[in-house]
Amino acid sequence: MFLLTKGKQWTNWSETVHSQPSKIVYPKSIDEVCQIVKRASDNQEKIRVVGAGHSFTPIAATTGYLMSLDYLAGVLSIDEHNQTAEVLAGTRLYDLTTQLAAKGFAQENLGDINVQSLAGAILTGTHGTGVKFGNIATQVVALTLVKATGELLTITPDHQEVPLQAAAISLGLLGVVVKVTIRIVPAPMYCYISNKYRFDDLLNDLPDLIEENRHFECFLFPYSDMVQVKTMNLSEEKPRSLRKHRLSALVMENYAFKFLSETARMIPKTSRSISRLSARAIGSSIVYAKSHDLFATQRRVKFREMEYSIPLEYLIEALAAMKAKIEQMKYNVHFPIEVRIVKGDDIWLSTAYGRNSAFIAIHMYKGMAFKQFFYDMDQVLTAYQARPHWGKMHEMKLSQLHSAFPKLHQFLDIRKHVDPEGVFLNSYFTSLFELNIEDKLTVSHSSTLK
Ligand SMILES: Cc1cc2nc3c(=O)[nH]c(=O)nc-3n(C[C@H](O)[C@H](O)[C@H](O)COP(=O)(O)OP(=O)(O)OC[C@H]3O[C@@H](n4cnc5c(N)ncnc54)[C@H](O)[C@@H]3O)c2cc1C
């Protein structure tokens, strides 16, 4: 029988969202998910599912049932011929990549951490980088969810009632996703290179860097002309030990950075020098390893994050505008700005819907003032047709979301059709989408940008 806890507070990874679910349930089978959903529906309770709680917004928060699929995890089967894998939705990405690697396979692209649940990553449009690769939801071939009635619904690309393009990034609003079939690829061998670049050179070379590298990302350090460029490309070299690379990342990006971040928190005026110091410390490195060993990094320093996607062609102009604004306003910020690239797709709520996109992420260390900085960057980026990452902070209103996501209307119609009583809603979504369904449930969060 499923595990159940009561009276426990739930908090997300970044410790910016807190809620008091009436129950936290851990089903151990798909049947149990169906029973719990049916019971909650019959009792007019609300349900949200939580993956790894790595979203910065209150999208998983509820004062109804909070369902964790931590016990509904694992790879069910791998079809080597068709290169697909059927996976239980609660599987953490680190487990998935390890299990795939054991059979010689991999996901074609991943983000920069691997602790998320597969469903959580898919449903929010989590992405990695590389102009030839879509976000993780584009890897979905089919998914099975438990509807508000407790019945199962399997959605394949030819499904009429609920198109896969609506379900793939559906924020947990259509039901509990229990199983996903994803496309996989033979595990590639990569050469990873990290290098220092001058900002002006980067702007000149950006189109080539994006086009010529399979995976390209860069980190711009505020108040510095130095940029870190990371690339990953196919290689025929043999994998080498990652010990030194991992140790250096652990020390530089976590322990040393935590110390510097604490200094910046206690004496905010040091942020600018700390950013310059971090930029000077960028080292050059080359590493050869399998893809899943390279995509993921450890993130032990807690922060808030806002990430917007813009059409790729505006990237250079947008970066220059952000840099100018930062230098004019002198915000106390020492975290680098992260830039990644994602191929356009046809998923309705995808931040890359219909366009190759550049993703620009800004961060602020936990405990430091962020509102003015985030608000101003929002203002800069919204001038470039920005779309917010669904799992990260933003303050876009419904009208802005409708212009940013042209298929949002159709998605909301499907949501209403599939879950008319709003079993899978919480107060964050009723407010964000201005839904006229009574929801007395409240969650506390602090995402207001100004
Ligand atoms: C340190 C850090 C690094 C990150 N790096 C990246 C990155 O590189 N790229 C990127 O794009 N994003 C990144 N993110 C954002 C993160 O990938 C997303 O917020 C993702 O949704 C988190 O997955 P999760 O399993 O924690 O999901 P949660 O945050 O727990 O849930 C996300 C949403 O999915 C719903 N949900 C989860 N599971 C189910 C299910 N089985 N059925 C129905 N609904 C479900 C939840 O209700 C919620 O609405 C990062 C976040 C952090 C904190």
- How much is the pLDDT for 293? 85
- With 90 as the cut, is the pLDDT of residue 436 above it? no
- Ligand 1 closest atom vs CA 117: 25
Average pLDDT, the chain: 93
The pocket around ligand 1, CB under 6 angstroms, is made up of 13-14, 48-55, 59-60, 69, 89, 111-113, 116-117, 119-121, 123-124, 126-127, 171-172, 176-177, 299, 389, 391
Q: Across residues 174-193, what is the average pLDDT?
A: 97
- The more confident residue out of 362 and 240 is 362
Q: Is the pLDDT of residue 238 over 90?
A: no
Atom of ligand 1 nearest to the CA of 118: 25
pLDDT in tens, 276-334: 999 998 888 899 998 888 888 888 899 999 999 999 999 999 999 999 999 999 999 99
SS (H, E, C) the chain: CCEEEECCCEECCCCCEEECCCEEEECCCHHHHHHHHHHHHHCCCCEEEECCCCCCCCCCCCCCEEEECCCCCCEEEEECCCCEEEEECCCEHHHHHHHHHHCCEECCCCCCCCCCEHHHHHHCCCCCCECCCCCHHHHEEEEEEECCCCCEEEECCCCCCCCHHHHCCCCCCCCEEEEEEEECEECCEEEEEEEEEEHHHHHHHHHHHHHHCCEEEEEECCCCCEEEEEEEEECCCCCCCCHHHHHHHHHHHHHHHHHHHHHHHHCHHHHHHHHHHHHHCCCCEEEEEEHHHHHCCCCCCCEEEEEEEEEHHHHHHHHHHHHHHHHHHCCCCCCCEEEEEECCECCCCCCCECCCEEEEEEEEECCCCCHHHHHHHHHHHHCCCCEECCCCCCCCCHHHHHHHCCCHHHHHHHHHHHCCCCCCCCHHHHHHCCCCCCCCCCCEECCCCC
Predicted local confidence at residue 324, as pLDDT? 97
pTM for the complete prediction?
Answer: 0.95
Give 299 or 335, the one with higher predicted confidence: 335
User: Is 70 exceeded by the pLDDT of residue 440?
Assistant: no
Q: 3 pLDDT band (50/70/90 cuts)? A: low
Percent of the residues in the chain that have a pLDDT greater than 70, as a whole number: 95
Average pLDDT over residues 231-247: 83
- Which of these ranges, 100-104, 197-201, 445-449, has the smallest mean pLDDT? 445-449
Residue 363 has pLDDT above 90, yes or no: yes
How confident is the model at residue 438, as a pLDDT?
54
